[in-house]
Structure 1
């Protein structure tokens, strides 16, 4: 806008110059010279204001990030209240990019602690822009200022880590990289909890099935109809079930409907999946419900092994289940004094290959898209990661399921998984920044 405005002004001035130069009356040239001064003054003022506005925008961006990082440091105990101002200035100096326009910016940080309303950090920046044109008119400088506030304490977070445990995860170091990344994410999120319950994390390993735990063989929400039919006259005790379930009946497979006794469609069909047998060398680990036992969460991640075919939908469905109150995962009730951010992080290294009904990707993907629509409509934020170290096409369903293009990640080398999870952790822990 500044460039086009200058061009227009120069054209207008040029026309008047040509017209006045052709005039015979000398006083017109004098009048023009006098009139030209304010025109040039307006043009110069536009340039100075534009440069100052750009510097303020850069200041605002740096202040937003500064407020966020200081609040994270303070909430995690990395710094004390006496270090806030020094830390804020250091963060801002490292982030601010418009140092030519504003060579010196003073930063003030104000911390307000509250147990009832949430804590806040307000960071204010002030600087002086030296004008290039307006000084002729008596304005040698312009004051430039901005502020940003980061609030925390009233937002609690619940995150389901839905992790691909299929056989292909054994290739190219993908399983080990995922385990390292997932454990690092636990370590990244756990310091955000000032009290127990501020942050919860669940672990959902998946292949074609998920393992809900063999100890649940007597729960009403497990449907043994198909399991019994497969044994016929050799029907065995349900306590010999190895703990795996397949997708629920359609359309319950795309929802988080709480199961009810007597309604088989809402229940979870048992399957004697060989990889759920604890005697298997590639034992599919059971789901771990929401927990803030950080060591146990990381131990469950360490125990995962690659096995079986890919059914992202069942993993995603159970990730959502772990975030839901009531059976079967019984997430803790939410305190009405807080707001909650619920999220699912889904990582898979390949395309869908098998679910309860289908063995082709497009039909499985269609069910998964419905599930993702329903989860996002319920205010679940979904992050998706495709670890594609081979020649698979980019997954359209993982892109579709992500809550925005910035929440889909394509990994082409296993060791990139750690940095991707770190980025997701930063996004998850990002506190509300208000101006």
Structure 2
């Protein structure tokens, strides 16, 4: 009876509901809310499942990397991979929703054409809260991770600032410790190498130049043009661009009257140099020697503008007497130590033409000329002009045309070069093209860098610029080179970066080991500098204290960095990963180096440091990042 009564009342309510016309919206909403709740519930369940899967992927990735490293270092055998995989995964997977977790591990041994791999797979499920109402009590998920190694090798080039300011605030010491100290970058990277050649490191100490090593003077990729030429034939001293100042020295009008006892015709403000007492003598002299071995030798001192030594002298060879200049009131006799005209020299006007006459001298430069077939057989030839036709300057013949004709042993043979190399001729200062003897602009200019009364590439000075160390896995030798680094001269980050690039190139001057087509290479450049660019090969760009207007050194480096970043490997991926570090401890602080900041491969690879202590932590951070073997899938 009670059941019939309830049924009858329900049927009556249903009849009244079907005939009701009030509250339609509420009724419809009541009916619609059910599927809405179902969709929301499903979204919640799927989100939980996705979170569980994401956590699984992360744990599998990390476990796979750890297994790869363990196997590479010999900490486990192949047979131990499954159990170790489960152990690592269990410690890493912390998601509370995942249940029924199962992990598998498959190891594939390397072959001649394929690398070793570890494949980790994981499966699991979550218990649904809402989807079970639709007949799905659980939601399954799975993921996998593969590491590939054995054909992934690392080559790291370190371009390290060795300029004078690195002596301040303990920076050079901190840099040595960060790279070559116990647990430093070299230790971090060498730990990744199971076999010789798995990891290579090059060290490029730089200042205004790099030191390639004096023993390389016989190499055919060196451009000796600047090193051999006299000051009047230095293309790097010329103007660079429209309206730019030229610092090129010129021969004086009375050049052919300059000889023993005459006053040096140049000063730092007139030519950029003075005279010395001999071709290898650093003692300046006001007057050209008139006795001794170097009587009549006109030897230029260090260049005040380019901070470079010249490697030769003009020799005064007497050729009688006569007119040495005519047609200009600016012509004059050279003076001697008494302040008067040198003996036998006079000037006068005849028939309205002003001229000067006296003893005449020719002036060959003491590097081999084109006609030398007896001496200096293994040296390049110098074709620079050294005087005027008929030993006379005239108003209609103001350009020297007589070519150097030195046919005796060189006073500064190339074997005396101390190893300095400066920027390549533009545009090759900004690219990685390999040198070719058929194109001198691709070769590397020798230099004799001299600043602060120091020839920095000379190993006998107290603070030498250390030589480049090409790619090597001789960890102790690399550490020795880094620990020997000293603060030296001015800053040209570009030349350091250029040689870091060259050190990674196969077939280049630093003989990077050949690369296997079946091997993946991680090529990394790390550049650290504590200051802004102040000088490079072109003295019109900077004086050693600051750059010229418009920051032309930075402009060249910016182009270089763009070319580095544009380089691609065979798969179309970036060829190089670049880390850039600016150590900014100056007071007041230097501005952020835009060129360094933009040179880094990505914003997270640029580091602005404000204390020396940060150098160690930054290199540790980079070392940790490089230590992570790349996931293949």
- Report the TM-score, using the length of structure 1 for normalisation: 0.86
- Answer whether contact 2:49 2:125 (CA < 8 A) is retained: no
Q: Which residue of 1 aligns with 2:217?
A: 217
* Structure 1 residue ranges without an equivalent (≥5): 1-19
1:55-204 map, 5 Å: 55-96=52-93, 99-102=95-98, 105-116=101-112, 117-183=114-180, 184-204=184-204
Task: Return closer, same or farther for 1:252/1:56 CA change in 2, 3 Å cut-off.
Answer: same
Q: Which residue of 2 aligns with 1:402?
A: 600
* Structure 2 residue ranges without an equivalent (≥5): 1-16, 231-309, 315-365, 367-410, 450-454, 568-574
Aligned counterpart for 2:419 among listed residues 234, 237, 243: 243
Whether 1:40 and 2:37 are equivalent positions in the alignment is yes
Aligned counterpart for 1:257 among listed residues 433, 452, 455: 433
1:265-344 map, 5 Å: 265-273=441-449, 274-344=455-525
Q: Which residue of 2 aligns with 1:232?
A: 313
Q: Secondary structure at the match of 1:256?
A: coil
Partners of 2:149 and 2:477 in 1: CA distance: 27
Q: Which residue of 2 aligns with 1:383?
A: 579
Task: Return closer, same or farther for 1:166/1:95 CA change in 2, 3 Å cut-off.
Answer: farther
Partners of 2:215 and 2:514 in 1: CA distance: 24
Q: Secondary structure at the match of 2:227?
A: helix
Partners of 1:211 and 1:101 in 2: CA distance: 61
How far off is 1:160 after superposition? 1.0
Q: Aligned pair count? A: 413
Mean CA deviation greater in 334-343 or 209-218: 334-343
Task: Return closer, same or farther for 1:24/1:72 CA change in 2, 3 Å cut-off.
Answer: same
How far off is 1:118 after superposition? 0.5
- Answer whether contact 2:71 2:77 (CA < 8 A) is retained: yes
Mean CA deviation greater in 392-401 or 282-291: 392-401
Partners of 1:266 and 1:36 in 2: CA distance: 76
- Answer whether contact 2:122 2:143 (CA < 8 A) is retained: yes
Q: Give the CA RMSD over aligned residues.
A: 2.6
How far off is 1:25 after superposition? 6.2
Task: Return closer, same or farther for 1:39/1:264 CA change in 2, 3 Å cut-off.
Answer: closer
Task: Return closer, same or farther for 1:242/1:138 CA change in 2, 3 Å cut-off.
Answer: same
Task: Return closer, same or farther for 1:86/1:410 CA change in 2, 3 Å cut-off.
Answer: farther
- Answer whether contact 2:68 2:118 (CA < 8 A) is retained: yes
Aligned counterpart for 1:422 among listed residues 613, 617, 620: 620
How far off is 1:82 after superposition? 4.2
Q: Secondary structure at the match of 1:276?
A: coil
Mean CA deviation greater in 261-270 or 370-379: 261-270
Q: Deviations over 1:154-200 (max 9, x none)?
A: 22222211111112222222222222222322222223333322222
Task: Return closer, same or farther for 1:81/1:177 CA change in 2, 3 Å cut-off.
Answer: farther
Q: Deviations over 1:395-423 (max 9, x none)?
A: 21112111122222222332222332233
How far off is 1:223 after superposition? 2.5
Task: Return closer, same or farther for 1:364/1:104 CA change in 2, 3 Å cut-off.
Answer: farther
Partners of 1:94 and 1:208 in 2: CA distance: 52
Partners of 1:376 and 1:122 in 2: CA distance: 33
Q: Secondary structure at the match of 2:160?
A: strand
Partners of 1:88 and 1:393 in 2: CA distance: 49
- Report the TM-score, using the length of structure 2 for normalisation: 0.61
Q: Secondary structure at the match of 2:445?
A: strand
Q: Secondary structure at the match of 2:456?
A: helix
Task: Return closer, same or farther for 1:227/1:408 CA change in 2, 3 Å cut-off.
Answer: same
Partners of 1:249 and 1:206 in 2: CA distance: 18
Partners of 2:217 and 2:23 in 1: CA distance: 105
Partners of 1:167 and 1:62 in 2: CA distance: 48
Q: Secondary structure at the match of 2:218?
A: coil
Task: Return closer, same or farther for 1:142/1:396 CA change in 2, 3 Å cut-off.
Answer: same
Q: Secondary structure at the match of 1:275?
A: coil
Task: Return closer, same or farther for 1:309/1:198 CA change in 2, 3 Å cut-off.
Answer: same
Q: Deviations over 1:30-64 (max 9, x none)?
A: 78655543331222111111222123223222322
How far off is 1:287 after superposition? 0.3
Q: Secondary structure at the match of 1:336?
A: coil
Partners of 2:603 and 2:576 in 1: CA distance: 15
